Amino acid sequence: MFIDDDELRDIFKATSEEHLQQMEANVLHLEKHPDDSATLENLLREIHSLKGDANMLGIKDIGTLAHQFEDILGSVKRGETVYSTELSDRLYQGLDAMGQLVHAAVTGETAETNVIHVMAYLMGAPKEPEQAIEHENNGKAILLEPVQLATLSTREDERDIEERDAEQRDIETWQHRDLEPFRYATPSLLHAPKASLSTSVHRINTIRVETAKLDTLMTQAGELTVTKTRINHRLVDIEELLTLWEDWNRDVFSHRTAWYEGQRGAKGQFSSGQGSQQRHQERLEQVGQRLNQLRQAAYEDSSRLESVVTELEAGIQALCLLPLSTLFQPFARMVRDLARQEGKAIELVIEGGDTRADKRILEEMKDPLMHLLRNAIDHGIELPDERERLGKPRTATLYLRGYQTATNIVIEVSDDGCGLMIETIKQTAVQRGVCRPDDFAKMSDRQIQALIFAPGFSTRSLITEVSGRGVGLDVVKTNVDRLKGTIQVESRPNVGSTFQIQLRPTLATAHVLLVVVEGISYAIPVEFIETSLLMQPSDLFTIEGQTAFLFAQQPISIVKLANLLELKAPSLVPKAAPPASFPCIILKVGEERLGLLVDALIDEQDVVLKAQSQLLQRVRNVSGATILGTGEVCMVLNPTDLIASVQKRTIVDHAQTSMQAANQKQVVLLVEDSIAIRTQEKRILESAGYEIITAVDGLDALNKLPARTFDAIVSDVQMPNLDGLALTAKVRQHKEYNELPIILVTSLASDEDKRRGAEAGANAYIPKGSFDQTVLIETLKRLV
- Segments of 375-485 assigned E as strands: 396-404, 409-415
pLDDT in tens, 641-655: 888 788 666 444 344
Q: What amino acid occupies position 33?
A: H
Q: Look at residue 118 in the predicted model and tell me its pLDDT.
A: 84
Q: What DSSP assignment string belongs to 225-278? A: HHHHHHHHHHHHHHHHHHHHHHHHHHHHHHHHHHHHHHHSS-HHHHHHHHHHHH
DSSP assignment of 545-583, as one string? TEEEEEETTEEEEEEEHHHHTT-SS--SS-SSS--S-EE
Q: What letter represents residue 90's amino acid?
A: R
Rounded to an integer, what distance in angstroms lies between the CA atom of residue 26 and that of residue 20? 10
Long-range contacts of residues 630-636, Cβ cutoff 8 Å, at least 24 apart: 630/230, 630/233, 632/521, 634/514, 634/521, 634/522, 634/523, 634/607, 635/522, 635/523, 636/510, 636/512, 636/522, 636/523, 636/524, 636/525, 636/607, 636/609
How far does Cα 420 stand from its chain's mean position?
26
β-strands 529-535, 582-589: how paired?
Answer: antiparallel
Burial 288-303 (b: 16+ CB within 10 A, else e): eeebeeeeeebeeebe
Integer Cα distance of 489 and 499 in angstroms: 5
637: pLDDT strictly greater than 80 = yes
Rg of the chain (C-alpha set): 39
What CATH topology corresponds to 324-503? Heat Shock Protein 90 (3.30.565)
Mean residue pLDDT of the chain comes to: 76
User: How far apart, in whole angstroms, are the C-alpha atoms of residue 178 and residue 581?
Assistant: 93
Report how many helices (DSSP H) and strands (DSSP E) the chain contains, helices first: 26, 25
Judge whether residue 571 has pLDDT over 80.
Answer: no
C-alpha distance from residue 200 to each of 98, 99, 195, 339 (Å): 18, 15, 9, 57
Can you give the pTM of this predicted structure? 0.49
> Residue 458: its pLDDT value, please?
62
* Mean pLDDT, residues 2-6: 78
Q: What is the DSSP letter of 463?
A: B
Residue 572: predicted pLDDT: 46
Using alpha carbons, select from 733, 729, 732, 701 the residue that is nearest to residue 714.
701
pLDDT in tens, 459-518: 554 444 444 434 457 778 878 877 778 888 888 888 899 999 988 776 667 788 999 998
Domain residue extents for the chain: 6-199, 211-320, 324-503, 509-651, 665-783
Share of the chain above pLDDT 70, in %: 76
Please write the tens of the pLDDT for every residue from 679-719: 888 888 888 888 899 998 888 888 888 888 898 999 988 88
Per-residue pLDDT of 183-221, as tens digits, reads 333 333 333 443 333 344 545 566 667 767 777 777 777
Helix axes 366-375, 331-342, angle to 10 degrees: 30
Amino acid identity of residue 719, one-letter, is M
The arrangement of strands across the sheet holding 764-767 comes to 691-695, 667-671, 712-715, 742-746, 764-767
Q: Answer yes or no: are the C-beta atoms of 659 and 682 closer than 8 Å.
A: no
Residue 160 CA to residue 157 CA, distance in Å, equals 8
C-alpha separations of 449 from 431, 437, 442, 557, 721 in Å? 16, 15, 14, 20, 45
d(CA 517, CA 644): 20
Q: Which fold does the domain 665-783 belong to in CATH? A: Rossmann fold (3.40.50)
Q: Tell me the C-alpha distance between 752 and 391, whole Å.
A: 29
The pLDDT-based confidence of 172 (bands split at 50, 70, 90) is very low
**Beta strand segments in 306-380, E:** 321-323, 346-351, 356-358
Specify the CATH architecture of the domain 509-651. Answer: Beta Barrel (2.40)
DSSP 541: E
Q: Is the pLDDT of residue 574 over 50?
A: no
CATH topology of domain 6-199: Four Helix Bundle (Hemerythrin (Met), subunit A) (1.20.120)
CB–CB of 325/350 below 8 Å?
yes
Do 330 and 182 touch, CB atoms closer than 8 A? Answer: no
